[in-house]
Amino acid sequence: MKGEDAIGAFVRWLEHEKHASPRTVASYRSDLGALLAWSAREGPGDDPAFLDTADLRSYLATLYRELAPSSVARKVSAIRTFFKFLHARKMIEENPAAMLRTPKLPKKLPRFLTVDQASDLMTLPDPKARKGLRDVTILELLYGAGLRVSELHALDVGDVDLGERCVRVLGKGGKERIVPLGRRAVAALAAWLEARPDFPSREPDDEALFLGTTGRRLSVRTVQRLVKRTTALLGTSEGVGPHTMRHTYATHLLGAGAGLREIQELLGHSSLRTTQKYTHVSATHLAEVYDRAHPMAHRRARRRPPPQDDENDREGESR
């Protein structure tokens, strides 16, 4: 079995059955191509059926010397998924990646904007200009609906329901969800939909919600640049991307009292574990919750009476 054939079958499975994003597919293809290239040069060859656990560990050892643990972890994930697929399809007899361990990574809290920063951000684009109106609508959706940049990129005009104040989103794995919209997002969308025909579309049947000045669907890269360029005006210490807006959305919902299960549904997370990273609520909010909920918070601590001097001691002191 040629390595190219195995990767090709795996990529088709990712695209057609798992509905992985083009970025994910490209990442897997690159990581697996690097593995088989190393195997052809240093190992038993580019046939994945000839690779065993020792070979894979030798390859990962070379990566540990060159890459950060986070990069190695991504490659380990690709390798494990690849060999699990080959084994399930009976393209290999045993799964050599089953015993591979993902390197431990330091837990990083997701970055997010403060409420004031998020509010100020929406005032930066000029809504009187067509492009500014489009940009503020994009920011309102990223913050007001917690969309992934790929989800925002894929939105069509027909996905927006202003009457019901919601938007239909196609998330990871082809999973569809309905996300409610706030008052400001609805107002921005209404204004943008009225101005959108002024953006010439190169394709008459193009129903993309957001168009660029060239008339095509606005690219993911353009949205990323827009967010970083606009948030830089806030004076943040480092660039803020679209995913930071999603973190901000979830963090502010949690801080306002929303439950993790509800936030999980709104974000389209398949696992609650993914949503739990947003439990980094401020200590002030946690103290407020404690004061409202814990019975001991409402009881005054009993104060011990001050120690009384012994009469003999007092008599001794007076002498």
Q: CB-hemisphere CA count at 13 Å for 169? A: 25
Closest CA to 68 of 106, 110, 99, 109: 106
Catalytic residue among 130, 243, 277, 280: 243
278 is catalytic: yes
Could you give the 3-state DSSP secondary structure of residue 160?
A: strand
Strand ranges of the sheet holding 176-180, from the earlier edge strand across to the other edge: 160-161, 166-170, 176-180
User: What is the enclosing helix (H) or strand (E) of 169?
Assistant: strand 166-170
**243 catalytic per annotation:** yes
The residue from 75, 134, 148, 153 that is catalytic is 148
Q: Which residues contact 139 (CB under 8 A, 6 or more apart)?
A: 121, 122, 125, 227, 230, 245
Structure tokens at 114: 């403060």
Out of 75, 80, 134, 246, pick the active-site residue.
246
Indicate if 285 belongs to the active site: no
Query: How far apart, in whole angstroms, are the C-alpha atoms of residue 84 and residue 247?
Result: 32
Query: And the tokens for 310?
Result: 């012994």
C-alpha distances (whole Å) from 221 to each of 190, 203, 244 are 25, 21, 15
For this structure, is 128 an active site residue?
no
Of the listed 57, 269, 277, 280, which one is catalytic?
269
Active site residue 300: no
The residue from 87, 111, 130, 172 that is catalytic is 172
Residue 2 known to be catalytic: no
Given the residues 28, 59, 143, 278, select the one marked as catalytic.
278
**Catalytic residue numbers, as ranges:** 148, 172, 243, 246, 269, 278
